[in-house]
Structure 1
């Protein structure tokens, strides 16, 4: 190859040659065909595998996917000549046709990847993208090496030999870590400028204090853990009135205390808070008061911060988080993922701090803190510009994540840390308490501290610090792995897009009794069509009768959209969640 302009032709021709070679071997007596390739060869092989190469096992060294990412972040494009040659085709439909990101989802054999954490030519995130794209592989594993763009034989040979001989290394982390459910509290101030001892602020404090006491009692009964983030005004009143007992309970009963900084600053002379644009002062004024309170009650904490930067305006966030000692940003990318995917980000990650909104969800491992996403005000349909967080909507949203989590647990994909959260503002008083009680009771009934048939915990209540510590442990054990990353225009970053889209286009209607050890929920699509989401809470197959809901035959559809037709009176369920609906 004389020029990178020829790369599409090389990939296309090479992938066809691999397909033909595998076919030739099968026609001449080979019972199985295995493949091993490296670097560009792995890209070519990935295209061949996705385009139907009859190959049972593949070992891809220094693999790569997502040409757009490579174009922006590979050392290759620092060479003007190379960049110019890539420009001739990488922004066209040809790139999508030959990108393993779009071909690997079609491969259903067994595939292993070996990636270099220091690879500058094909960056680690592009190798991770190739692994993530292999969503339908019978088996997939990812091995990281502290290497650049090289893979000496001793780094992979024994693993590859065991893989090809049928003695593949057992997963070091069987199962999948549980979903961490967070209940976040934002103690918001009155709107605009206000005096600390003014009527509006005093009423806001009293309403918030009384709601906090109710929440503490609710959490004691339900097991919910709260991450409570305070603006400074609340702390001022609690200290002045010596009403520290609710705060002491937060610290003593397993909850977490952190900071919420609206874009307001404190005027000590006037004893008032006012709108200001100095983010450094927001941080300082709020943090000083929270730290003072923690010292007063003899507690530790204040690792988590949610600061009210303008949407997409995060270029100063990393510097300020570092300066003031915060290592957790919670709810600090509000509604950005929601606008892209229809749901929050399901993993903690180190989010890039940039003023380019399209890159606000991109992973940047040099950032000093982790981000944790959550849903807007529970029970409301108007918060944050009209986000619907009523209890039944939250159930549907949580089920999207559960399906994704369960799909991975069954296939034992590489572990990730999982989070799902929602916020409540105690300054609203008891307005949304019915939704709080209903939603968390539902979670407790079906998911919290429940185990899968393989013995894996499904979900647990956690604080932000517990999630962060779990993430740091995961990061140490998975060098080079991406927790989450998304740039505007990238493909959907999770596996079960079909189920996500189906649930987004529906209304939750309640639980359905299909017999012992079966969980089932009923939905109605926006077009009025009824369907069920159901699974068996055991090993093997359970037959259920849905003929009272659907007559004749039904479609049974997997989380990734694979469809079979079955008799409505004898529907086979396994532990993998499926959708059941009448034929169209």
Structure 2
């Protein structure tokens, strides 16, 4: 039995439900008793959904006529499997191909695999480059490539890497009846020049042998919003303000989370970061930041939000297993199903759609509309230290190494809860209410003796059979845990 909640009645202002008027007095007594919470009445905003994007890098296959066709066939099976999953689930695919994979598709006559990736289709196709080029003495040799060091500095070799690989990706556009000039997305390259505008086709002088002008680029991992930035933007910058440039011709779209299944080569988080419990954690934390904007707790204007993760065909073959021992395809099915069940095209109690599958071109179009309506407004939303601002950053600190462990059950209507487990095995519970302040019984799961962490990072020790849960999330952990 819980005490109830407050809600708005049409034409009647704030009215009590589920308890007598004494509840108003009960709420008003919170400050006098030294308790947190109360009768919250935020100013709810209209916000756009979180656009779900992910990056599928079609990495190099073999570099010889002996290895290339065999590896290509294995990778193609993974690509077709993911297309089937997308068709069944409504998911969108943002594929970025190296020239090696694209050559395999062209030479095998499989260019129609990418019919739905052309402009106007549900998916997108762009370019992702590793350090490979065709042999200088045999540029037309089929299935044959030379691999350079990623830090190659010779500008002629760098240009050859771009020209040789972009040629085959462009050919996929041509074979599908689309002018290659529409190939505008560059999602990461292993090789660079000091002036990337030359390679992206935006400089006043042009020295590369392809018609493309690449204006849609990858964004810094971990940022929740698309932004306009320079051509040189790559992961690793400590200060996101260095990444934003209102005058630049490039729009950057981040993916936020890890590489599904395993992530040992993509960042300091380590080999487990891309597994499903961590992707779920990342989404829940972003959703709650999004919700802070929705409920008017943030003074910042509503922005365009994105969330996604990465993957590769070699990680999604039929027998590929992640560092968690699971078949990666099972992990894909789980995260897509979970998002569809709980968030995609679902609405908050205040009418805002929570999440929507999208491709990069759709996100770019929405960002450009937002940018026009908010001239000169940063889309990254900096905090005082220069990093991406997050209203709940202090609250979420103990979740830095924690994985999602499940949804908290048996909660009153309108109260949500997600359970996490940290690296020491201790449980943490993230709780919030969509219906004002609610007194929640601890039941069989939540601890009687506990520490409650609040949005500003402060903590209070509590003992008792009930927990006060408000619209601002709280983090609960058992007294004596290491969190």
**TM-score, structure 2 normalization:** 0.74
Q: 1:209 to 1:492 in 2, by over 3 A?
A: closer
Provide, for residues 285-314 of structure 1, a one-character-per-residue CA deviation record: whole Å limited to 9, x for no partner. Answer: 23222222212113474221123245xx67
**TM-score, structure 1 normalization:** 0.62
1:572 offset after TM fit, Å?
3.6
Corresponding residue of 1:212 = 79
Which stretch shows the higher mean deviation, 522-531 or 451-460? 522-531
Q: Structure 1: which 5+ residue stretches go unaligned?
A: 1-137, 140-169, 338-343
Corresponding residue of 1:236 = 103
Corresponding residue of 1:256 = 124
Q: Is the 8 A contact 2:238 2:387 kept in 1?
A: no
Match for residue 48 of structure 2 among 154, 177, 182: 177
Corresponding residue of 2:215 = 327
Corresponding residue of 1:451 = 347
Quick one: distance in 2 between partners of 1:435 and 1:518?
Answer: 28
Higher relative CO (CA 8 A, sep ≥ 6), structure 1 or 2?
2
For these two proteins, the number of residue pairs brought into alignment is 398
Structure richer in helix, relative to its length: 1
Q: 1:490 to 1:410 in 2, by over 3 A?
A: same
Match for residue 513 of structure 1 among 409, 412, 418: 409
Q: 1:447 to 1:457 in 2, by over 3 A?
A: same
Corresponding residue of 2:430 = 533
> Is 1:287–2:183 an aligned residue pair?
no
Corresponding residue of 2:147 = 275
2:228 partner SS: coil
Match for residue 302 of structure 1 among 183, 191, 195: 183
Corresponding residue of 2:274 = 389
1:206 offset after TM fit, Å?
0.7
Quick one: distance in 2 between partners of 1:487 and 1:563?
Answer: 22
Quick one: distance in 2 between partners of 1:210 and 1:491?
Answer: 40
Quick one: distance in 1 between partners of 2:262 and 2:130?
Answer: 20
Q: Structure 2: which 5+ residue stretches go unaligned?
A: 1-40, 203-211, 321-327
Quick one: distance in 2 between partners of 1:580 and 1:358?
Answer: 31
Q: 1:558 to 1:460 in 2, by over 3 A?
A: farther
Higher Cα Rg: structure 1 or 2? 1
1:455 partner SS: coil
For 1:95-494, what aligned pairs fall within 5 Å after superposition?
A: 174-190=45-61, 194-195=63-64, 198-251=65-118, 254-267=122-135, 268-271=139-142, 272-276=144-148, 277=152, 278-299=157-178, 301-309=182-190, 315-323=194-202, 324-330=212-218, 333=220, 344-354=222-232, 357-358=237-238, 361-374=242-255, 375-384=257-266, 386-387=270-271, 388-411=273-296, 413-428=300-315, 429-430=317-318, 431=320, 432-484=328-380, 490=386, 493-494=389-390
1:448 partner SS: coil
1:270 partner SS: coil
The CA RMSD over aligned residues, in Å, is 3.1
1:256 offset after TM fit, Å?
0.9
Provide, for residues 502-556 of structure 1, a one-character-per-residue CA deviation record: whole Å limited to 9, x for no partner. Answer: 21132322222134544322112334432211233x4334443223124435444
2:259 partner SS: coil
1:473 offset after TM fit, Å?
1.0
Q: 1:367 to 1:283 in 2, by over 3 A?
A: farther
Q: Is the 8 A contact 1:547 1:568 kept in 2?
A: no
Q: 1:326 to 1:500 in 2, by over 3 A?
A: farther
Corresponding residue of 1:112 = none
Quick one: distance in 1 between partners of 2:185 and 2:170?
Answer: 12
